[in-house]
Chain A
Amino acid sequence: MTMIFGVPLAVLSGQLLIGIINGAFYALLSLGLAVIFGLLKIINFAHGAMYMLGALVTVVLFDLLGVNYWVALFVAPVLVGAFGMLIEYFLLRRIAGQDHIYSLLLTFGVALIIQGVLTNIYGVSGLRYSMPDLFKGGINLGFMFLPYYRAWVIVVALLVCFGTWFIIEKTKLGSYLRAGTEDSQLMQGFGINVPLLVSLTYGFGVMLAAFAGVLAAPIYSVTPVMGSNILIVVFAVVVIGGMGSIGGAIITGILMGVIEGLTKTFYPPASSAVIFLVMVLVLMIRPTGLFGKEA
């Protein structure tokens, strides 16, 4: 069997694959955070809860109404995104213009509520969701076995990330969004409905999180607390990538997933901490993050 640094190739590539998949989730989540932060200057502490809601809604829709995966892939993010817009409209809007710290604290409270209430309803043991039949099985690549679903996750996550980057950086809508955050009064003066734009942006960021949640439902255990720990990792990813950058969030996300996967192969005890260690290193060398522009 082929060995690389004393590790069988199949094991290494397997861990690498898991790393890339985790990285795809980190990328989707940190992208959502970056969109919300970059455009609204809100740190969305409820992002993990929204990711969890995406997965939970998928499972519950299936159990109650038999809604299948493909419909859920569309419906769950829309539902959760609408929920996010309600939060923006009724809560976040009231503290707009205040110190950003308050939006962090507010969304932290919101996350506690959502998570706590759902834990009481569904417990923490994890709900089961079976994969759509289409994705059962996989292909043998010779050096490793690639399950279809994992391949699908990687492809679709990358597509969504790229699409988001394209919309924000390259389209007219994106330039409105960026301009609206630069000088909202001037934009208002041009006849653009900035509050609506803000709601939509928040809703969109939340949708990205919920979309990641739907993708996660068939492969991770769906519990009300599934979002709370991944969120902190994603925060670290965002710090490493540099907060301002949308492209940076995507690249760093995948990179960190891979690094985590490699650590799991070569030195398992450090695997859950390695991203934070990388963060410390990056902070020492480049305090603004790898892709960050200003302090």
Chain B
Amino acid sequence: MNQPVNPADIHKAIVEQQKIQDRKKLMVNGVLLLLLLAAPFVMYPVFLMKILCFALFAVAFNLLFGFTGLLSFGHAAFLATGGYTTGYLLSNFSGLTTEMGIIAGTATATLLGLAFALLSIRRQGIYFAMVTLALAQLVFFFFVQSEFTGGEDGMHGIPRGELFGLINLEDNLNMYYFVLVVFIACYLLVQRIVSSPYGQILKAIKQNEPRAVSLGYNVDRYKILAFVISAALAGLAGSMKSVVFQLASLNDAHWHMSGEVILMTLVGGMGTLLGPVVGATFVVNIEYQLSQGPLRDWVDPILGGIFVLTVLAFRSGIVGELQKFMRKNLG
């Protein structure tokens, strides 16, 4: 027979365990932060910023796909809308400081996200994916036809300008730290959202929507909010990307981009916080490495292969598989 256990002891043990885990997490995060701070002295800052922008894009996407269970195949629309709006404003109104342009871009993408959400939220699963894809294609055609986007040529020479009118962003290091701060802030925000009661409801919706409904939650409202936040962060990523590269192009609006962010999230590990970041780093690096080598024309099929492989064999992604491995072997 089992020894009777004092509930207080269990509680103490759990708290103790939690403390150790928290300390571990803090250490890991501290080391990561140091690495990110030191990175531009070792690697090319623009490349790092590219990774950060895509990582933010993937984090935004993951909030919707990984945590709410809604597969949007139209997130490129938000990335591009953020990018084009910011680019247009900064190019044409020299009085605007950079952060104002970025805020405006993010706001536009947020509104677009609301429109998308209202139109698509009543459909589920693959229907939802197809509706968002088609809506994003509509946005794509709008950008193709519009004068201000520069059509096929794209929007060039967007000035980086000065942050708050004070900090010169033409300097790559300044730019990098700005992007890093924004990225970390957004990452923490998503972390906060996911662990909040609201985030728990999102997870409940993902796991079993009818049950969430029967518990009395108005799931559509929760889903719309998740969609809008996700669109806003994706727009922010696009806005920053256009400032970093001083360029906004149709590539960002094309549905291939929507596919790419799915790949990043899936490869990194959907439904994990760090997964999309790892995935974005992985995909951006692979694309860069391939484009430098003899396989430069084979980027698409190789990405496709990674897609197929991930879906078939590593559905939890790099971070997810690592977590499984650690749980199995390290207790």
Contacts and interface: CB of A to CB of B under 8 A. Distances in A.
Contacts of B119: 280, 283-284
B271 to A, nearest CB: 13
A105 B266 contact: yes
B301 A113 contact: yes
A295 B124 contact: yes
A76 interface: no
A232 B304 contact: no
A115 B299 CA distance: 11
Interface string A95-134: 1000111101110111111111101100000000000000
B29 to A, nearest CB: 31
Contact of A283 (B131, B142, B262, B307): B131
A106 B135 contact: no
Contact of A239 (B130, B303, B312): B130
A254 B40 CA distance: 56
Interface in B292-331: 297-308, 311-312, 315
A235 B134 contact: yes
Given A232-B134, A276-B141, A279-B134, A109 B123 contact: no
Interface in B79-96: none
Contacts of B145: 269, 273
Interface in B91-143: 119-120, 122-127, 129-131, 133-135, 137-138, 141-142
Contacts of A115: 300-301
Contacts of A56: none
B45 interface: no
Nearest to A109: B307
Given A239-B134, A279-B134, A283-B131, A113 B308 contact: yes
B311 A235 contact: no
B-side interface size class = 35 or more
Contacts of A50: none
Given A101-B71, A120-B297, A287 B122 contact: yes
Given A112-B300, A112-B303, A106 B312 contact: yes
A232 B137 contact: yes
Q: Which of B71, B297, B304 counts the most chain A CB atoms within 10 A?
A: B304
Contacts of B135: 276, 279-280
B61 interface: no
Given A43-B126, A110-B304, A232-B255, A273 B142 contact: yes
Nearest to B134: A236
A37 B129 CA distance: 14
B154 interface: no
Given A110-B308, A116-B300, A120-B297, A104 B127 contact: no
Contact of A105 (B134, B297, B307): B307
A239 B127 CA distance: 7
B259 interface: yes
A185 interface: no
Given A109-B308, A236-B134, A104 B129 contact: yes
Contact of B312 (A91, A279, A287): A91
A236 B133 CA distance: 9
A175 interface: no
B308 A91 contact: yes
A113 B266 CA distance: 17
Contacts of A108: 259, 262, 304, 307
B129 A101 contact: yes
A116 B298 contact: yes
B307 A235 contact: no
A17 to B, nearest CB: 24
B110 to A, nearest CB: 19
Contacts of A104: 71, 126, 129
A287 B123 contact: yes
B177 to A, nearest CB: 36
Contacts of B141: 272-273, 276
Nearest to B302: A116
Contacts of B71: 101, 104
B138 A280 contact: yes
A238 interface: yes
Interface in A230-275: 232, 235-236, 238-239, 243, 269, 272-273
16 contacts: A43-B126, A43-B130, A105-B311, A108-B262, A109-B306, A109-B311, A110-B308, A232-B137, A235-B133, A273-B138, A276-B138, A276-B141, A277-B138, A283-B120, A283-B131, A295-B123
Given A239-B134, A283-B131, A284-B119, 14 more contacts: A94-B312, A95-B312, A104-B126, A105-B311, A108-B307, A109-B304, A109-B311, A112-B303, A116-B298, A116-B301, A232-B137, A232-B255, A273-B138, A287-B122
